[in-house]
A and B are shown apart, each in its own frame.
Chain A
């Protein structure tokens, strides 16, 4: 197969920039739906025996008081209420400001008053995250991405060279960006699994790029001239192309199985992973080696 990946590099860069522009506009106009893991708050998943309407739930919430982050007493009327399909049919998700233990009990008591058959059994899930922990999670996520990037640059520079490391890292950051954007596009709630899915994509994408760079490293041993570099890079990508496609395909099969057959709980996690793996496959083929070539061109010009 003789496809000119390097010669058409400007086209790939323009496409990538277009995707970034699209992503940024989504992030600006739609924003991200931060869940309670980041903002702090209380989230309840309840089965209300006998059914409910959203306004009925809101009326009940209006009668419960709580103290918000600024120390004011508010009713829970403005909480986020969502209908969802659970094991026994319709269930409700309620997201409020962080509730203390007493406030939580008051809320449950108010609900038990409106739905007399309501018991502890009907509490599917309660999550309560204080604002302190939420802020820490965001900080740790950013810090993890930063430290992981440094660790990878050091290792790849040591095993290959610094230019390979930089050329591997940029597609990686692009993949992370696409995963983050997908949370905005599909309006998924950002919680702790988000951190895990972004970092999974980081791990997956770097592995993909390294396999191609390994082939480049090997082929450079036979011919290391700058003139032949485009041909060497094209050859290396082609030689590892079947492997790249087959690996991505098998991983997409497993993630896809979890996405389409794995139920709602996993979806927040598997959908971004599916998109990230898909994206990571393309970036390791179309971005990593062309970027490496660009860096080499610059080096060559500086030398001349």
Chain B
């Protein structure tokens, strides 16, 4: 007797998988966050530099620092000690407020490029990681220009004749790139500045005391313009001249608008991936991944017959659930991340292989398909769980240790393990149980054994 409810349940599960694939694919393609190695973009790791002369510290502060260290810092310090490692540098001279303010300024600067989903994150005590995916179809977002903009301190200073700084960019309310006539009547690019009322007052005094003299304007300690004061300027407006192009002017204006960085930053690590290289590696790895998936499915169906087909459907479900999760969690997919997916794809197949080999064994021992299926899942459970949990431990350690790409690998690895356990132990099981319970199989050949 064919059990129609069981058969219908099986068909329903299969339909759900295909619907999920059909509905998810466009969303995944549209919304998945690609790392800069896949899409092209800029990656910068910055470290705030300790300001000169700020290194006195009392002993009381040092002991409190020791207590404030988290577990991770203690482990790394211990590990460094094993190798007779370097003396630890004191890092606390940089205040938390300055770091937060620096990140805010960087965010302003980055936002001016109009990139999608820029990542600006503090890493540890005094490092800032910036990841910007550039749009391959928008060459305006030049990577070199971005790099130049990010690192500049952009401290604007007006100095008097004695060399004392009297006015800084902190008093600016506006900075804009404009074309204006210079003293010879030519239209040249300039940056026009507007000061706030306090700044306007200082500027008016400065111009009054320096009539007929030059006022040098400094950017990050270098003179960028030294205009001659012709009249007293009391409306708080000034211009910076001597700029080569309007692009240069707008970059400078943008820097001044977002303000100076409270801290000096050193670029520890810089990576740019050109858009062509990025999209190339994405397309080839996607095709290769797809090819691998199809080959695995062919092998499974050829070797395990009907259960192999069910496992292939479960693999589809695995792929869709994993990629959907990556989209929902806004995880970033990188090349190492793809490797993590392949590894867990292997483990998802493995769980099915363990179950089906058991199934064959139980069938050969003379069990009915129903009893054999239950026994197979039951006996495979401990080995699937232990294998996956051990790998999960590796993934957790990688996540704790890693930065950037390695962390992305750990995320896809752990998500992939969870998905592969779920699909093998829940989805494959539900399909297999309903299949054998429906009584549609006339022989065990379809289950992978001889007769």
Contacts and interface: CB of A to CB of B under 8 A. Distances in A.
B201 interface: no
B19 interface: no
Contact of B281 (A129, A130, A266): A266
26 contacts: A101-B148, A123-B143, A123-B272, A125-B273, A126-B272, A133-B45, A192-B406, A193-B335, A193-B339, A195-B406, A196-B340, A203-B390, A203-B394, A206-B387, A207-B390, A210-B390, A211-B383, A243-B353, A247-B354, A250-B346, A254-B292, A254-B345, A255-B346, A262-B284, A262-B289, A265-B37
Nearest to A215: B383
A192 B404 CA distance: 10
A203 B343 contact: yes
Interface stretch (B75-83, B212-220, B227-235): B75-83
B268 A210 contact: no
Contacts of B345: 251, 254
Nearest to A134: B269
Given A127-B270, A261-B288, 16 more contacts: A124-B277, A125-B273, A133-B268, A143-B76, A144-B401, A204-B347, A210-B386, A247-B346, A247-B354, A250-B299, A254-B346, A257-B288, A262-B284, A263-B285, A263-B288, A265-B37
A242 interface: yes
Given A130-B269, A207-B388, A251 B346 contact: yes
Interface string B300-342: 1001000000000000000000000000000000011011101
Interface stretch (A149-157, A178-186, A290-298): A149-157
B343 A204 contact: yes
Contact of B151 (A101, A123, A215, A273): A101
A265 B303 CA distance: 33
A256 B379 CA distance: 31
A119 to B, nearest CB: 10
A254 B349 CA distance: 11
**Which residue of B80, B338, B346 has the most chain A CB atoms within 10 A of its CB atom?**
B346
Interface string A239-267: 11011001101110111111011110110
Contact of A246 (B285, B353, B388, B391): B353
A283 interface: no
A128 B276 contact: no
Nearest to B345: A254
Most chain A CB neighbours (cut-off 10 Å) among B45, B142, B391: B391
A239 to B, nearest CB: 7
Interface in A125-167: 125-130, 132-133, 139-140, 142-144, 146-148, 151-152, 155-156, 159
Contacts of B339: 193, 196-197, 200, 269-270, 273
Interface in A203-219: 203-204, 206-208, 210-211, 214-215, 217-218
Nearest to A270: B339
Contact of A159 (B80, B300, B386): B386
Given A242-B357, A261-B284, A261-B287, A124 B276 contact: yes
Interface in B367-405: 379, 382-383, 386-391, 393-398, 401-402, 405
The 6 A-B pairs at the shortest CB distance, nearest first, are namely: A251-B346, A257-B292, A254-B292, A214-B383, A263-B284, A262-B288
Of the candidates B272, B300, B343, the one having the most CB atoms from chain A within 10 angstroms of its own CB is B343
Given A126-B272, A249-B299, A261 B291 contact: yes
B401 A143 contact: yes
Interface core residue of A45, A101, A218, A258 (most chain B CB under 10 Å): A258
Contacts of B401: 140, 143-144, 147
Given A123-B143, A126-B272, A196-B406, A211 B387 contact: yes
Nearest to B400: A147
Interface residues on A, range: 35 or more
A86 B281 CA distance: 11
A217 B269 CA distance: 49
Interface in B133-164: 139, 142-144, 147-148, 151
Contacts of A192: 336, 405-406
A247 B349 contact: yes
Contact of A254 (B287, B293, B336): B293
Interface of B: 37, 45, 75-76, 79-80, 139, 142-144, 147-148, 151, 266-274, 276-277, 280-281, 284-285, 287-289, 291-293, 295-296, 299-300, 303, 335-336, 338-340, 342-343, 345-347, 349-350, 353-354, 357, 361, 379, 382-383, 386-391, 393-398, 401-402, 405-406, 409, 413
Contact of B303 (A108, A123, A125, A246): A246
Nearest to B277: A124
Nearest to B43: A127
A128 B280 contact: no
B387 A202 contact: no
Most chain B CB within 10 A, of A126, A146, A273, is at A126
Given A101-B148, A266-B335, A207 B76 contact: no
Given A199-B398, A206-B387, A269-B336, A128 B295 contact: no
Contacts of A132: 268
Interface string A275-288: 00000000000000
A85 to B, nearest CB: 12
Given A125-B272, A126-B272, A206 B144 contact: no
A206 B383 CA distance: 12
Nearest to B45: A133
Contacts of A204: 343, 346-347, 391
Contacts of B272: 123, 125-127
A300 interface: no
B144 A123 contact: yes
Contacts of A218: 379
Contacts of A129: 268-270
A202 B393 contact: no
Contacts of B284: 261-263, 265-266
A101 B353 CA distance: 53
A87 interface: yes
B289 A87 contact: no
Interface string A83-99: 00011000000000000
B348 to A, nearest CB: 10
